[in-house]
Amino acid sequence: MKIAIIGTGYVGLVTGVSLSEIGHQVTCIDIDDGKVERLKKGISPIHEPGLSELMSKNIEEQRLSFTTNHQDGIREADVVYIAVGTPENEDGSADLYYVEEAAKEIAKYISKDMIVVTKSTIPVGTNDKILQILQKHRIYDVKVEVVSNPEFLREGSAIHDSFYGDRIVIGAESEEAATVIEEINRPFGVPIFKTDIKSAEMIKYASNAFLATKISFINEISNICELLDANIENVAKGMGLDKRIGEQFLKAGIGYGGSCFPKDTKALIQIAGNVKYDFELLKGVVNVNQKQQRILIDKLNSYFFSLKGKRIAVLGLAFKPDTDDMREAASIKVTEELIKQGAEVIAYDPVAVKNAKGVLDPRVQFASSIEEALGGSDAAMILTEWKEIKTMDPQLFHCMDQPLVFDGRNCFDPESMKNNQVEYHSIGRPAVAVPSRTVPL
């Protein structure tokens, strides 16, 4: 099948590469010249395990190409995917500008019967609007159908998720269109769930909102655990053994970030609000997350009398491990607050530094190793559970004069920190104090 994909971000690029890997002829289109030039040379614009290798392989085998020219990409295609961004408007609703522009571009160049597939996360009812745009702006009198095919990949494991996902959701009005998209995806071997368009649109938002709810729930439980001297890791494990609850997404920490949960939860509140439904539970989830992102700062504030002049090492900047994505990363708010309170911030991340430099306060300094960040620091904060951080020798914390760690991702066993004489404050677990500590507060 000949497929064109509009937008080569995380979703468009991973979709294009994966569809070419299972044998389709794919053209990826983007308006960003620089990005397309790099892609043509086989250079991935994002850090995503396994992506570069698979991309180069399919470019070489001539199943995958890139262009900035919509006409070239769309003219020959049997199916066109929309995978452009749907960022957050100021009021929390989804900004549909890029999706609507993409639909207009498609309409200009459709010259034969065509299915347009939406991969972008779009509010319930948006596929209907896209169909109207396509019908209004098309030049030739051809049949055009829209199919909703929301994406469930996670950054950091996007390629794996494409080939081993739990389900592929296809929302269509006609059985014929649904079957075409089913056949395209069949070689993935992932279970396919076919439904109507509006339900497919809602499945995407409801899934993200449910996962975000699990995270805010366990974070609230972790805060209560701290007050009662219980241990959140044991609690989450015991809860997760119940198959109805499940062990995933019960990891307490400094809240969820990234390009999806923060914006999609707020968009769903708006989607509900538009039909006069007050989604109280989800509002609570969002508020809890905002509070949770401050939790390490609060711990630091109750430890030190003032942060003025204190040197704080921040370990991990990306919103999660195995990605260089900084969108809505906890590190943005945390470093902003540290600087506001007069601290000196020295940060380390194995891959996200380039992107971090574009979004963090220019006063944040960057270290090229964990040791360098820790050297001379008064405290360390762990914000991303990179493998390199989780598996480091706790003795390394002695690069600080007196090791003091605030861990927002529960990377270490408190017992091992105690054995290594490291003062250790984590999430939802009793703190480890070191009696000999003499740092002036």
What are the residues binding ligand UPG (CB under 6 A)? 121, 151-155, 208, 211, 215, 249-251, 253, 256-258, 260-261, 264, 319-320
Q: Which of residues 144-183 bind ligand NAD (CB under 6 A)?
A: 151, 153, 155
Q: Which of residues 382-411 bind ligand NAD (CB under 6 A)?
A: none
CA distance 284 to 282: 5
Are 120 and 84 in contact by the 8 Å Cβ rule? The answer is: yes
**Region from 4-12, 171-179, 215-223, 340-348 binding ligand NAD, contact rule CB under 6 A:** 4-12
- In eight-state DSSP terms, residue 167 is -
Q: Minimum distance from CB of 264 to ligand NAD (Å)?
A: 7
CA distance 1 to 9: 22
Residue in 3, 8, 148, 373 binding ligand NAD, rule: CB under 6 A: 8
> For residues 282 and 405, which CB has a smaller minimum distance to ligand NAD in the complex?
282
Q: Which does 215 bind (CB under 5 to 8 A by kind): ligand UPG, ligand NAD, none?
A: ligand UPG
CA distance 202 to 406: 38
- For tokens 């209004």, the residue is 136
Q: Judge whether 390 is annotated as a binding position.
A: no
Which is it for the CA torsion 389, 391, 396, 401, positive or negative? positive
Q: Judge whether 66 is annotated as a binding position.
A: no
Q: Minimum distance from CB of 154 to ligand UPG (Å)?
A: 4
Are 370 and 347 in contact by the 8 Å Cβ rule? The answer is: no
> For residues 110 and 400, which CB has a smaller minimum distance to ligand NAD in the complex?
110
Q: Give me 40's structure tokens.
A: 């043509």
Residue 282 phi, psi (nearest 5): -70, -30
- In eight-state DSSP terms, residue 432 is B
Are 5 and 63 in contact by the 8 Å Cβ rule? The answer is: no
Q: Minimum distance from CB of 180 to ligand NAD (Å)?
A: 21
Q: Minimum distance from CB of 32 to ligand UPG (Å)?
A: 21
Q: Which does 11 bind (CB under 5 to 8 A by kind): ligand NAD, ligand UPG, none?
A: ligand NAD
What are the Cα distances from residue 39, in Å, to 29, 59, 68? 11, 9, 11
Catalytic residues: 260
Q: Judge whether 8 is annotated as a binding position.
A: no
CA distance 311 to 328: 24
Q: Judge whether 16 is annotated as a binding position.
A: no
Q: Judge whether 86 is annotated as a binding position.
A: yes
Q: Which of residues 202-261 bind ligand NAD (CB under 6 A)?
A: 259-260
Residues of the binding site: 30, 35, 86, 121, 152-155, 204, 249-253, 257, 263, 320, 327
